[in-house]
Structure 1
Amino acid sequence: MSAAPLQIGLLLFPNLTQLDLTGPLQVLTRIPGATVHLVAKRLEPVPSDTVLRLLPTISCADCPQLDVICVPGGAGADDLLGDEETLTFLRRQAKGARFVTSVCTGALVLGAAGLLRGYRATTHWSAIQHLSAFGAIPTPGRVCIDRNRITGGGVTAGIDFALTLAALLTDQTTAEAIQLALEYNPAPPFDAGSPERAPAAVVALLEQRMVAARQRRGDAVSRAAARLTAQPSPAQA
């Protein structure tokens, strides 16, 4: 009898950063025998943070138990920090999932669900300081693995995350074959991909542009952390 297919679900929500989703999606759909779901509250197009709209394949209510649940990030993730319907869905899936994962600020959503207490985790460099509000241990890096929690850094790190996950779900040769098929061989034209390496003027420019968004996120984290403190901790895998 053949093994049951891997069930992988990526969460959709309004104003997500599409590359947080589509980078891993391109990798994970190439895993042999995997069934990949795009999960949302309703089966209607979901606007991303670009002109691209994303079409869910299944609703949260109809979603089967997943082997992997993944939450992408983006400005819309801030709204999920107080979305009890979504947080309840994640808690329910986490109980039976083999891996509970995120990309970018999707880690804050896992944190708001109480799923990162006592776990090392990473996220976008501009938000990593917020992880401790949810009892997580901030760990800078492209990919962070702690037991069955796997978190990716900001945006493009989602591809590194997905290849790492593919190797864990199958083997390194399969993951390397996916990497080769995608010709994932990054050679960026500028050395400005992290605040440690980008020119100081570029860091200052981006920091100034992000002031309002970071304030909004900080407020959302504070509210979510206060609610979480009043709740019992979910069982940790």
Structure 2
Amino acid sequence: MTRKRNVAVLLYEHVDGLDFCGAFDIFATASDWGKDFYTYTVSEKSELLNTISSFTVAPKYNFSDCPKPDILVVPGGIGARTEMNNSELTSWIRCTSENAEIVLSICTGALLLAKADLLSGLKVTTNQRAMDLLAQVAPKDCEIVRNVRYVDNGKIVMSAGVTAGMDASLRVVSKLLGEERAVETASRLEYRWNREIL
């Protein structure tokens, strides 16, 4: 029997709704009705947050009371360009990643991983419209990879923009629970999984 893993989905002001909701639903649906993953949201503070689409969301946990994540999902959004300079947030990502099994960035969540000093020596990607910014903030020994849905460095998995995060999330499900579970999850969501990988 596979042990139940905690999946923390990070939220912050002006996060992209589909970035975090897509990944959240992949892990929740893949969980075999809660047996395999406990998926929840977390933010720096316990307060309502605005997405870039102008709907508000209330995180379940804050940094001080969050269950220890086995999987950390770091979504993107226009807010990532501001939050990458939030040392509290990037320090929490860095510390949390030390004990996490997998860290998954979606879209411009890559900027937060870069500022958390997690990308040295890795293949990295992000939304095509943020590639130049990622190149500015990522370590010089990174390999910037364009025109892919996601890259898998082992512990660090990174997706391109928005819906590519669903493909990368399914990749993580496949790594942890097997390809059959990932295929079944995509089928339940009526989503066509793009398995392109580097």
Instruction: Give the TM-score of the pair, scaled to structure 1.
Output: 0.75
Distance 1:51 1:87 in 2: 24
Tell me whether 1:182 sits opposite 2:189 in the alignment. yes
Deviations 1:75-134 (A, max 9, x none): 100111110100110011110011111000000110011111111111000112333332
Query: What is the aligned counterpart of 2:83 among 80, 83, 87?
Result: 80
Distance 1:138 1:9 in 2: 26
- Contact 1:9–1:38 (CA under 8 A) maintained in structure 2: yes
Structure 1 or 2, whichever has the larger Rg, is: 1
Q: Which residue does the alignment assign to 2:25?
A: 26
Secondary structure, aligned partner of 2:127:
coil
Secondary structure, aligned partner of 1:79:
helix
Query: What is the aligned counterpart of 1:65 among 47, 53, 68?
Result: 68
Query: What is the aligned counterpart of 1:54 among 43, 57, 65?
Result: 57
Amino acid in the other structure paired with 2:79: G
Aligned identity (percent) is: 27
Tell me whether 1:116 sits opposite 2:119 in the alignment. yes
Distance 1:166 1:174 in 2: 7
Secondary structure, aligned partner of 2:59:
coil
Deviations 1:167-218 (A, max 9, x none): 11210000100000011138xxxxxxxxxxxxxxxxxxxxxxxxxxxxxxxx
CA RMSD of aligned residues (A): 1.4
Q: Which residue does the alignment assign to 1:92?
A: 95
Query: What is the aligned counterpart of 1:104 among 102, 107, 111?
Result: 107
For residue 48 of structure 1, report the CA deviation from its aligned partner: 0.2
Amino acid in the other structure paired with 1:20: D
Q: Which residue does the alignment assign to 1:211?
A: none
Distance 1:178 1:3 in 2: 17
- Contact 1:120–1:139 (CA under 8 A) maintained in structure 2: yes
Q: Which structure shows the bigger proportion of residues in helix conformation?
A: 1
Return closer, same or farther for 1:51/1:22 CA change in 2, 3 Å cut-off: same
Moved over 3 A (4+): none
Deviations 1:132-186 (A, max 9, x none): 3321321121111112110010011111111111111210000100000011138
Distance 2:150 2:2 in 1: 28
- Contact 1:99–1:150 (CA under 8 A) maintained in structure 2: yes
Amino acid in the other structure paired with 1:157: A
Distance 1:54 1:165 in 2: 25
Secondary structure, aligned partner of 1:127:
helix
- Contact 1:45–1:55 (CA under 8 A) maintained in structure 2: yes
Contiguous gaps of at least 5 residues in structure 2: 194-198
- Contact 1:129–1:138 (CA under 8 A) maintained in structure 2: no
Deviations 1:59-78 (A, max 9, x none): 11112221111111111001
Distance 2:170 2:188 in 1: 12
